[in-house]
A = this chain, B = another copy of it.
Amino acid sequence: MKIGFIGLGNMGAPMAHNLLKAGHAVNVFDLNAQAVQALVDAGAKAAASPKAAVADVECVITMLPAAAHVRSVLTAEDGVLAGVPKGVTIVDSSTIDPASVKAFAELARQHGNTFVDAPVSGGTGGAAAGTLTFMVGGSASAYEAVKPVLSAMGKNIVHCGDTGTGQVAKICNNLVLGVTMAGVAEAMSLGEALGIDVKVLAGIVNTSTGRCWSSDTYNPMPGVIDSAPSSRGYSGGFGTDLMLKDLGLATDAAKFARQPVYLGALAQQLYQTMSAKGAGRLDFSVVIKLYRQGSLSDNGSDSTKGDA
């Protein structure tokens, strides 16, 4: 299939690579010439604008930092809608707010196109390995249409419901994640301060009603799980600033829905404190340093310093 791909960042680049590997023809566009060249070297065709990238394609995929970028890529003079043939489906894999999705879907509809939201989970590792989860919002037929393309980049392609529900699913999941991680951080720190061995404590929680991914797979206490970022100085993983972005989307969506999110709003402030103290690029499980005895000040400048 011929695909136009806009946005070759940390996530978009490996995703586009996987499309090429699967045998698709891919036109790419990004403001970063180096990122474009790497894809061209792998067989993609560079385009001078989003409009040019989508002129002759059967599917468009966008992977961008925020809703403002998606709007611009869609509606600019040399944007997607200025060039894309009628009938082509536009898949946006950016993580953005559901209200913007609905606005973009309406713009696309007026232009004769279908807009599908398909945010991902799985991180840069999943993007490289082609094992992302796609949370797809759109009609059943739109879902069926995009599923084969998305399957080249991910292993779980989940239909969440109508347009926008892909974003809702992602936002709600990450709301739970942000809360459970901070909750585990405070329970593990409390247990440590009260004198229980932290591995024993994690073992009990993980086989009891406190069981959760943040404890049994990604425990924030160093030394509990060897493969977790906490055991390598909170480097790699899912950055505090990315968690902040997602909790910001959750509390914003809650505001528009007139829905309280007590724990989500509080967790956002906890991660915000860590970001303000210099830990924005460290894995979000670093929030445990807010609870443990000792200084926050070694979070910041160099993530390779690891845990004191």
Which of B172, B197, B209, B264 makes the CB contact (< 8 A) with A196? B172
In the assembled complex, how far is the CB of residue A251 from the closest CB belonging to chain B, in whole angstroms?
7
Question: Nearest residue in B to A98 (C-beta to C-beta)?
Answer: B194
The answer to whether A172 and B195 have CB atoms under 8 Å apart is no
Q: Which residues of A in the span 159-194 have a Cβ within 8 Å of any Cβ on B?
A: 159-162, 164-165, 168-169, 171-177, 179-180, 182-184, 186-191, 193-194
Number of copies: 4
Chain B CB within 8 A of A93 CB: no
Per-position contact with B for A251-268: 1 when CB-CB < 8 Å, else 0? 111110111111111111
Residues of A within 8 A of B (CB): 98, 121, 133, 135, 156, 158-162, 164-165, 168-169, 171-177, 179-180, 182-184, 186-191, 193-197, 200-201, 203-205, 207-215, 218, 244, 248, 250-255, 257-270, 272-273, 275-277, 280, 290-291, 293, 295-297
Question: Nearest residue in B to A167 (C-beta to C-beta)?
Answer: B194
Complex CA gap A251/B290 in Å reads: 17
Which B residues are in CB contact (< 8 Å) with A194? 98, 164-165, 168, 172, 253, 257
The answer to whether A263 and B263 have CB atoms under 8 Å apart is yes
| Residue from A180, A196, A209 having most chain B Cβ neighbours under 10 A | A209
Question: Nearest residue in B to A158 (C-beta to C-beta)?
Answer: B204
Which B residues are in CB contact (< 8 Å) with A263? 179, 182-183, 186, 263, 266-267
Known contacts A121-B208, A260-B273; decide if A175 and B168 are in contact (CB<8 Å). no
Which B residues are in CB contact (< 8 Å) with A196? 160-161, 165, 168-169, 172
